[in-house]
Structure 1
Amino acid sequence: MTMKVLYGAAPDDVKGYDTQRLRDAFLMTDLFAADRVNFAYTHVDRLILGGAMPVETRLAFGSGEDIGTPYLLFAREMGIANLGGTGTIAVDGETFTLENRDVLYVGRGAREIVVSSLSADVPARFYMNSVPAGTDFPHRLITRKEAKPLDLGDARRSNKRRLAMYIHPEVSPSCLLLMGITDLAEGSAWNTMPPHLHERRMEAYCYFDLAPEDRVMHMMGRPEETRHLVVANGDAVLSPAWSIHMGAGTGPYAFVWGMTGENQEYNDVSPVAVADLK
């Protein structure tokens, strides 16, 4: 298990960043390496994001050594989304089977997590978000069919999409973590339109189901001074509360969104008019 540390940045600092420094601060690449567990600990609301792709072997993790606690989820909760083939997750001996687009909520206090794939030819790809938690909730598997769908956007504006809520008070309760998956409709390219800010919550995105040759142009930064990241399949982006977040893909794609902060009010946002972006 590896644990990279990301410190984030203040909006005034980002004004002077070149492309590589911006990527180093806000982009996590190579999350899904065969038979490895990779995590990034960010000081942006102390979110941990990670990826695991078991191919030939089972992968176990849970040590809290890197974050100074007896075990990783000693004071944390976690959401795990399967973005690949069928896989299993054992949480302290309790085993869950996850198909593609299923999500497992792991409550505070879990000591050991073991992930594996049903087939090495089509391995599971487990994407993880973990945030501090002050309340205990039971582990729960939320299948793709159990997620709550919301249809958003307009085909005429190339932003028609379906948002599926998984870890959310209306589906599966948690302490502070929210997590879901958004799919773009055929022919649409733009996500999260119109753009907005949510000062009381940060967000993280993992873009997936992109073809190798495609990229998502992820827009970030203050509305009056935007920046962009070029994102490949399986890359994850940190979006601090002061930053807008929207993007467009050169081909079909989907993304996992995860949020944490002061509340779980999905609509607690401050819209930004596209005409005001610079």
Structure 2
Amino acid sequence: MIEVRYGAGPDTIGSLSTEDLRSTFLVDRLFPKDNVRLVYTHIDRMILGGSVPVEKNVAFGEGAPIGTPHLLSYREMGIANLGGRGRIEVDGKSFDLDNRDILYVGCGAERLTLSSADAANPARFYMTSVPSQVDYPHRLITKAEAKPLELGEEKRSNKRSLRMYIHPEVAPSALLLMGITDLAHGSVWNTMPPHLHERRMEAYVYFGMAPEDRVIHLMGRPEETRHLIVADGDAILSPAWSIHMGAGTGPYAFVWSMTGENQEYTDVDPVPVSTLR
């Protein structure tokens, strides 16, 4: 079973209650133990998923809920390991992932099996999938192989390190982009300045947070912003018409994934903070 989210447009977001806003754009409890949770959003038909295999292996790949022979018959997927060492088998081929490694799974895969090397320190798999009909090969991208970018300024509390994993300059895909951003010690702001990218939607999962900490994620139109209070392991759906930026009460990191008309990471429309309402 796959949960379905239909999204909302900029003309309706102003009337949403806090609970409506969260049920539309926030996905919590994404990492069940010994199971997999998948959420299908009609925002560019992205699928988010999470799994923590502890006592047993977790297998998935059935396509009936989305009307295809297999989940990835016409899709590609990126799977990030945010926990202890783990293994992913794709149609019998094994890939071992350390923390902060990402596996690209190409279109046409039939069965995926997730497992942890140590039940006391299990893997924590986060996945995003988007439509594709291009047969790129499966590929493991380690943290060392990702392309790093240093962004922001310490004096503005937004210094951060961004690593591109699934990206034309690192590992090719049809439409999926995926990477991980870590904030420098003492910095709290991510994705600063806020921006729009009308040609692409984006999804985030926040992780590496203490149980008592939260990220205040800002979204909405620049002239009518809203916010979501986000805990460790929560994911955010960010439509193309919405800004996105956030500030945390403690250390945190996030995985970002994008899909849309192009794969140009710099194809964004910055929004000056002074114009936000």
Aligning the two structures, in what range does the TM-score lie when normalised by the shorter sequence? over 0.9
Give deviations 1:228-266, integer Å, cap 9, x for gaps: 000000000000000000000000000000000000000
Match of 1:111 in 2: 110
SS at match of 1:12: coil
SS at match of 2:20: helix
Match of 2:149 in 1: 150
SS at match of 2:4: strand
Match of 1:41 in 2: 40
Aligned partner letter, 2:196: L
Question: 2: distance between equivalents of 1:119 and 1:33?
Answer: 17
Q: Where do 1:1-278 residues align within 5 Å?
A: 2-278=1-277
Question: 1: distance between equivalents of 2:31 and 2:41?
Answer: 18
Give deviations 1:98-149, integer Å, cap 9, x for gaps: 0000000000000000000001111100000000012110000000000000
Aligned partner letter, 1:206: V
Q: Which moved more, 1:145-154 or 1:27-36?
A: 27-36
Aligned partner letter, 1:98: L
Question: 2: distance between equivalents of 1:247 and 1:66?
Answer: 33
SS at match of 1:264: coil
Question: 1: distance between equivalents of 2:71 and 2:51?
Answer: 15
SS at match of 2:155: helix
Question: 2: distance between equivalents of 1:246 and 1:4?
Answer: 26
Q: What TM-score results when the alignment is normalised by the length of structure 2?
A: 1.00
SS at match of 2:144: helix
Cα drift, residue 33 of structure 1: 1.4
Q: Percent identity?
A: 69
Give deviations 1:51-76, integer Å, cap 9, x for gaps: 01100000000000110000000000
SS at match of 1:11: coil
- TM-align CA RMSD: 0.4
Aligned pairs, number: 277
Q: Which runs of 5+ in 1 are unaligned?
A: none
Runs of 4+ in 1 over 4 A off after TM superposition: none
Question: 1: distance between equivalents of 2:3 and 2:271?
Answer: 32
Q: Which runs of 5+ in 2 are unaligned?
A: none
Question: 2: distance between equivalents of 1:221 and 1:32?
Answer: 26
Aligned partner letter, 1:114: T
SS at match of 2:24: helix
Question: 2: distance between equivalents of 1:193 and 1:84?
Answer: 27
Aligned partner letter, 1:176: L
Aligned partner letter, 1:14: I
Question: 2: distance between equivalents of 1:196 and 1:152?
Answer: 15
Q: What TM-score results when the alignment is normalised by the length of structure 1?
A: 0.99
Question: 1: distance between equivalents of 2:138 and 2:144?
Answer: 18
Aligned partner letter, 2:178: M
Give deviations 1:189-210, integer Å, cap 9, x for gaps: 0000000000000000000000
